[in-house]
Structure formats: structure tokens, C-alpha cells
Structure 1
Amino acid sequence: MEEIKVYTLENKFLKVEFLNLGAIIKKIELKNKNGDVKNIVLGYEDVEKYRENSAYLGAVIGRTAGRIKDGILKIANIEYQLNKNNNGNTLHGGKKSISHRFWNVEKIENGLCFSIKSSHLDSGYPASIEIKVSYILNNNQLLIKYFATTDNLTYLNLTNHSYFNLSGNPNNSIYEDILKINSDYLIGIDKNSIPCKTINLNNNIFDFRESKILEEFFKANDEQKTLANNGIDHPYIFNEKIGKLEIKNLESRIKMSLETDNPAVVIYTANYLQDIGFKKHSAICFETQEAPNLYRDENINICPTFIDKNTNYEKYTKFIFTFK
């Protein structure tokens, strides 16, 4: 059995721990001006628990983030049957995805580079690919850079699945967090959480274009909220090419800003964490990515981007932490 190893990046603002399993972010510790240290992501103290990690705590997700209906991936009029692991659908790349495999790790300037190879028809996906994910610390910023090459036409949609609790206390809920996201449109889901329709956020409880405390959302009623087990588990479409959002916790006074060149972010409010021993709604995920299930809506300029041997995959997401 391969050994799970812990790697650490640290500067005067941040200390971040990673695992070679799943390229996982295990901890993100911040120091406030009083010298207090808070870990603001959920994780297991016992690294052996990450071998199961059914909730994908802190893991890199791929080859495809989110769900693919019936596990059928269609590329250039060819259908590929993917590994199905979620109510007859493919979730986060299938049962034995890169989230649960060991990665190679190299030191780079101010960071670490994780790399892994995936062969043709691995979990049903076409083409052989090599993926590199770099984590870089720059002062109070954690930058994630995704890069991949392929030997043939394929589809890739990577993200990181960290669960943020900005209070630093996993027993606290996220109800007191204040969220703002520059997004006019949400993609609605069906009963299996498959993206199925575009929703304009005007007069909608999912609208966070103006800063809003999450408690207001959780007190309101909506069919889409019910479908997500009384929370959010939806793709938001960014209004700009560089998508931005921010969230802050009133108790800790920690603010996290996010920036990405992905067109969407799946916001997930930990609606099932009680199933693995954590508290429901005790964290929030910001899974920056393309819209799941290769969702298309040309009216809002959303369509999947394929890669081949002449076009690499290259994306980034940046987290910026401040005390307010």
C-alpha cells in the first residue's frame, strides 16, 4: 500500500498542507494580526481516512468535475461509456478517479507541482493525458494552476473540492457568512443534480449579486433549493471572462476573494456532510470549472471546450485571504 505523504508550503501569511493522494489540500491556516491561527478548510486529522474520502475533501477532481448524465460522454459524434458511480451517472470522474490516486510531487518556486498520467479509456475517458496542478503561495494568495496535454481529442474539466469554513470552527455553520458573486445566471438541476436549465437570477433566492448573508437564503423556500437537499449545489455562470466572488465570516473577520478564468463555479453548501461525520452546512465549496455535463446555452455563451494534441488545457483559480 502506497504511503500517504504530507507536504507543506508556508510564508508569513499562510501555511498550507497537501497530500500526494488526490493532490489534496489538507489544511489552510491563516494568522490574524493577533497571532491567532485558524484552519479554514475541513479535513481529517488521520490521513488514512483520505483513502476513502467519499466527500472529496480538498481533492483535485477529474477527469470531469460534477455529474455526467448516464455516464455518456459524446465527443465528435462518438459516445464513450464512463464509469458510473452516482445513481447511474458519473460523478467527479468515476469511482477510481484522480481524486483517489497518488500523484508525483515536485518543488517549484514558492510552490509545489503535482502531476499524474491517465491512459486511454481510463474510467472510459478517451485519449491519454498528463495533468499538472501547481499550488503557489504569493503573500496572502493561494494560486492553483491547472495544465494538461493529450495525445488525442478529449474533454477535461478539472477543479478543486476544498470545503471552506472561514470561522475556523467546523462545529459552526456557514449561515453567518456573507457571499457576493458576479453572476446573472444559474444552471438549474434535476432530481439527480444534473444541470438541466438556465435560470435568470432576477428575483431569485439564489441571487448574490449584492452581498447577502447566507442565512437569508437558508430561510427561504425554492424548488431548486429542495432538489439540492435544502442548500446550494448549482453552477453559477460568471458575467465576466475573469470570474470573481467573495465571502466573509463575521465572527473571524476573515474574507476570501476568488478569481478564475473558468466560466462557471459550482457552489456547494455541504448538504450531505452529516453522512461522513461532519455537520451539515458547516462549509462551502467553490468548484471553479466549465459547466458540468457539457452543458450548452449559446444565449449566455456557455459551451464545452475540447482539447487535442495541438491545444492544451490551461486554467487557474486564485484565493486571496484578508482579515477585515
Structure 2
Amino acid sequence: MEEIKVYKLENEFLKVELLNLGASIKKLEVKDKNGNFRNVVLGFDDIEKYRENPAYFGAVIGRTAGRIKNTELKIGNKLYKLDSNNNGNTLHGGKNSISHRFWTVEKIENGLVFSIKSPHLDNGYPANVEIKVSYILNKNELEIKYFAKTDSLTYLNLTNHSYFNLSGNSENTIYEDILKINSDYFVGIDENSIPCETIALDNNIFDFRKSKKLKDFFMATDIQKTIANDGIDHPFIFNEKIGRLEIENLESGIKLSVETDNPAVVIYTGNYLQDIGFKKHSAICFETQEVPNLYLNPSFIDENKAYERYTKFIFN
């Protein structure tokens, strides 16, 4: 059995622990308003639990983040059947995806580069793909850079699945956190959590264009909130080419700003965390990516075109 190894990055602002399994963020410590470090991501104390990691804590997700309906992926004029691991659909790249595999690790200045190869028809996906994910510390920001190359036409949609709790205490919910998203549209989901329709955010409880406490959302009612097991598990489409959102916890004084060149972000409010021994709604995920299943901005790549994306987590 391959050994799970921990790699550390740190500067005066941030401390990060990363795993060679899933290229996962295990720990992310930032300074609170009193100058004390707090770990702001959920994870397992027992490192062996990352072999299963059913909630994908901190992991890189691929080849495709989110759900693909009926496991069917059309690329060019071919239809590919992917691995079925979620009610007849493909979730986060299928069973034993790159989130649950070992990556090679290389040190660079102020960071680490994680690499993995995914062969042709791996979980049904076409083409041989080489993926590199870099984690780079720059003062108060952690940047994740995604790069992939392939030998033939295929589709990629990568993200990171960290669960943020800016209080630093997983016994606290996110209800008091203040969220703001630069997005006029979100994407509704069906009963299987498959994204299916773009919805304008005017007069909608999912509207976070003006800063508001998550508590205000959770106290309201909406069929989309009910479908997601009383929370958010939805893509938000950014208004600008560079997407931005921010979230703040007043008790800790920690504010997180997210910046990305991805067209959307799937926000997930930990609606099933209680199933694995954590508190429901005790964290929030910002899975920057393309809208799953709808292919609104599809990242089709081939031997002449690489996949490149970035996301920055900036702490104040």
C-alpha cells in the first residue's frame, strides 16, 4: 500500500499541508484578527481516512468536476460512456478518480507541483492526459494553477474541493458568514443534482450580489434549496472574465476572496457533512470550474491546445 505523504508550505501569512493522495489540501492555516493562526479547512486528523475521503476533502477533482447526466459525454461526433458512481450519473470523474490516486510531487520556489497521468478510456474518458496542479504561496494568497496536455480531443473540467470554515472551529456552522458573489445567474438542478437550467437571480434567495449573511439564505424557502438537501449545491456564473467572490467571518476577522479565470463556481454548503461525522453546514466549498453537464463554455482540448486555469484564495 502506497504511503500517504504530507508536504508543507508556509510563509508569515499562511501555512499549508498538502497530500500526495489526491493532491489534496489537508490543512490551511491563516491569521485571525488577533494574529493567531487558525485552520480554515475541514479535514481528517487520521491521515489514513483520506484513502476513502467520501466528501473529497481538499482534493483535486477530475477529469470532470460535478455530475454528468447518464454518464454520457459527447466529444466531437462520439458519445463516451463514463463510470457510473452516483445514481446512474458520473460524479467528480467516477470511482477511483484522480482525487483518490497518488500524484508525484516536485518542489518549486514558494510552491509544489503535483503531476498525474490519466490513460485513454480511464473511467471512460478518451485520450491520454497529463495533468499538473501547482500550489504557490505569495504573501497572503494561495494560488492553484491547473495545466493539462493531451494526445487527442478530449474534455477537462478540474477543480479543488476544499471545505472552508473561517471560524477555524468545525463545531460552528457557516450561518454567520457574510457572502458576496459577482454573479447575475445561477444554475438550477434537478432531483439528481444535475445542473439543468440557467436562472436569473433577481428576487431570488440565491442572490448574493450584495453582501448578506448565509443565515438569511438558510431561513428562506425555495424549491432549489430543498432539492439540495436544505442548502446550496449550485453553479453560479460569473459576470466578468475574471470571476470574484468574497466571504467573511466577523468573529475570527478572517476574510477570503476568491479570484479565478473559470467561468463559474459551484458553491456547496456541506449539506451532507452530517453523514460522515461532521456538522451539517459547518463548511462551504468554492469549486471554481465550468458549469457541469451543460457545456456552456466547454474546455475541449487536443494535442495543439492545452488546458490552463487558475484560482487564487486570498486571505485578509
| Fold match by TM threshold 0.5 | yes
Q: Which AA in structure 1 matches 2:129?
A: I
Find the residue that maps to 1:136 and give its secondary structure: strand
**Distance in structure 1 (CA, Å) of the matches to 2:68 and 2:108:** 34
Give the deviation of 1:68 after TM superposition: 0.2
Please list, as runs of the form range in 1=range in 2, the aligned pairs for 1:83-94 lying within 5 A after superposition: 83-94=83-94
Give the deviation of 1:32 after TM superposition: 3.4
Please list, as runs of the form range in 1=range in 2, the aligned pairs for 1:73-152 lying within 5 A after superposition: 73-152=73-152
Find the residue that maps to 2:163 and give its secondary structure: coil
Partner in structure 2 of residue 303 of structure 1: 297
Farther-moved stretch of structure 1 (32-41 vs 280-289)? 32-41
TM-score (norm 1): 0.97
Give the deviation of 1:304 after TM superposition: 1.3
Give the deviation of 1:102 after TM superposition: 0.1
Please list, as runs of the form range in 1=range in 2, the aligned pairs for 1:161-200 lying within 5 A after superposition: 161-200=161-200
**Distance in structure 2 (CA, Å) of the matches to 1:59 and 1:134:** 13
**Distance in structure 1 (CA, Å) of the matches to 2:117 and 2:190:** 33
Please list, as runs of the form range in 1=range in 2, the aligned pairs for 1:1-324 lying within 5 A after superposition: 1-32=1-32, 34-293=34-293, 295-296=294-295, 302-322=296-316
**Distance in structure 2 (CA, Å) of the matches to 1:305 and 1:19:** 27
- Deviations along 1:189-210, whole A, 9 cap, x unmatched? 0000001111000000000000
Give the deviation of 1:305 after TM superposition: 2.3
Provide the identity percentage.
77
Q: Which AA in structure 1 matches 2:171?
A: N
Q: Which AA in structure 2 matches 1:150?
A: T
Find the residue that maps to 1:226 and give its secondary structure: helix
**Distance in structure 2 (CA, Å) of the matches to 1:261 and 1:253:** 27
Q: Residues 232 and 309 of structure 1: is their aligned pair in 2 closer, same or farther, counting only changes over 3 Å?
A: same
| Number of aligned positions between the proteins | 316
Give the deviation of 1:35 after TM superposition: 3.6
- Deviations along 1:284-324, whole A, 9 cap, x unmatched? 0000001101x14xxxxx331200000000000001001xx
Farther-moved stretch of structure 1 (35-44 vs 4-13)? 35-44
Give the deviation of 1:33 after TM superposition: 5.6
Contact 2:33 2:253 in 1 (8 A): no
- Deviations along 1:133-180, whole A, 9 cap, x unmatched? 000000000000000000000000000000000000000000000000
Contact 2:32 2:252 in 1 (8 A): no
Q: Which AA in structure 1 matches 2:123?
A: S
Contact 2:184 2:238 in 1 (8 A): yes
Find the residue that maps to 1:114 and give its secondary structure: strand
**Distance in structure 2 (CA, Å) of the matches to 1:319 and 1:21:** 21
- Deviations along 1:15-57, whole A, 9 cap, x unmatched? 0000000000000011236342200000001110000001000
- Deviations along 1:118-144, whole A, 9 cap, x unmatched? 000000000000000000000000000
Find the residue that maps to 2:12 and give its secondary structure: coil
**Distance in structure 2 (CA, Å) of the matches to 1:247 and 1:30:** 14
Give the deviation of 1:188 after TM superposition: 0.3
Structure 1 gaps of 5+ residues are 297-301
- Deviations along 1:64-112, whole A, 9 cap, x unmatched? 0000001011111211110010000000000110000000000011000
Find the residue that maps to 1:292 and give its secondary structure: coil
**Distance in structure 1 (CA, Å) of the matches to 2:156 and 2:98:** 12
- CA RMSD of superposed structures (Å): 0.7
Give the deviation of 1:227 after TM superposition: 0.5
Find the residue that maps to 2:231 and give its secondary structure: coil
Give the deviation of 1:252 after TM superposition: 0.5
Find the residue that maps to 1:56 and give its secondary structure: coil
Structure 2 gaps of 5+ residues are none
Q: Which AA in structure 2 matches 1:108?
A: I
**Distance in structure 1 (CA, Å) of the matches to 2:308 and 2:40:** 27
Which of structure 1's runs of 4+ aligned residues deviate more than 4 A?
none
TM-score (norm 2): 0.99
Contact 2:181 2:208 in 1 (8 A): yes
**Distance in structure 2 (CA, Å) of the matches to 1:72 and 1:78:** 10
